[in-house]
Amino acid sequence: MDLKAEIADWPVGSASVAVIGPSGVLDVLDDGAVHRWASLTKVITALTVLDASVEGVISLDDEVGPPGSTLRHLLSHASGLAPDSDRVMAPPGTRRIYSNHGIDVAAHHLEASGDQRFHDHLEERVLDLLEMADTSLVGPPAHGAQGSIENLATLAWELLRPRLLMPEVVWLASTVSFPGLSGVLPGFGKQPSNDWGLGCEIRDHKSPHWTAPENSPATFGHFGQSGSFLWVDREADLACVSLCDTAFGPWAAQVWPRLSSRVLENYG
């Protein structure tokens, strides 16, 4: 499969793509740039918080956010918090409301548990552990990371085949929490069952969606407004990641599923 040919009609200035299998990177097109990850940052932020919870530094049952909300609610966008403020839009556990603010509140809760900045937790628990030296948090925990395609592929490989992260951490991030909640999937409209794990979106049977129709329902990952995505399909034993210099828009909703179908067809 010629990755360069596959993305030749993408309306972007430059882009990188990598395909990952059980033994690591199977194919990569690298534009050599460090790109903004935007909401892909939520994945590494959630892994950081989950690692601390498994160690007992904090608990997923800690009461954080609006009354009745826990850390578990925040990480799965089920706290009822508005996207970018403390405004409460629904009782916890009743709707899936995608909240940047909720992820930032979750990160602050870890920071407030001791004398380390969240940035230090992120580096120690994820970035340094996985040797992701090209990745850094330069903004909020919900959407402020930037990094290389090589580092994003390393993250995807770890999620496909955990070697350094604790398996329970990856399981929590990629397994549905508060199943069956309806909500809006940004960029793709209202979903009657908008399933999420603690940090990652779960594909399930959502339509329309940014992955391919051929991706298994258990496929998990995230995409970002910077034109970035990461998905992991354990049934296919594959993962795929992309970064680019152009914001998410209708173009991405068209070409990402096509690329994912081709990846599954050629590497599955």
With contact defined as beta carbons under 8 Å apart, do 52 and 71 qualify?
Answer: no
Range of the domain at 200: 3-267
pLDDT score, position 48: 98
- Are 210 and 230 a contacting pair, CB within 8 Å? no
Q: How far apart are alpha carbons 112 and 149 in whole angstroms?
A: 32
pLDDT tens-place string over residues 149-193: 999 999 999 999 999 999 999 999 999 999 999 999 999 999 999
Instruction: For residue 208, say if its preceding peptide bond is cis, omega within 30 degrees of 0.
Output: yes
CATH number, domain containing residue 143? 3.40.710.10
Sign of the CA dihedral 20, 23, 25, 26? negative
Mean pLDDT of 9-24: 98
What confidence category does residue 241 fall into, taking pLDDT thresholds of 50, 70 and 90? very high
Count Cα neighbours of 206 within 13 Å in the Cβ-side half-sphere: 30
Q: What is the pTM of this model?
A: 0.98
pLDDT > 90: percent of the chain: 99
Task: Please state the domain count of the chain.
Answer: 1
Could you give phi then psi for residue 172, rounded to 5 degrees? Answer: -65, -40
**pLDDT confidence of 100, banded at 50, 70, 90?**
very high
Mean confidence (pLDDT) of the chain: 98
pLDDT band at 44 (very low <50, low <70, confident <90, very high): very high
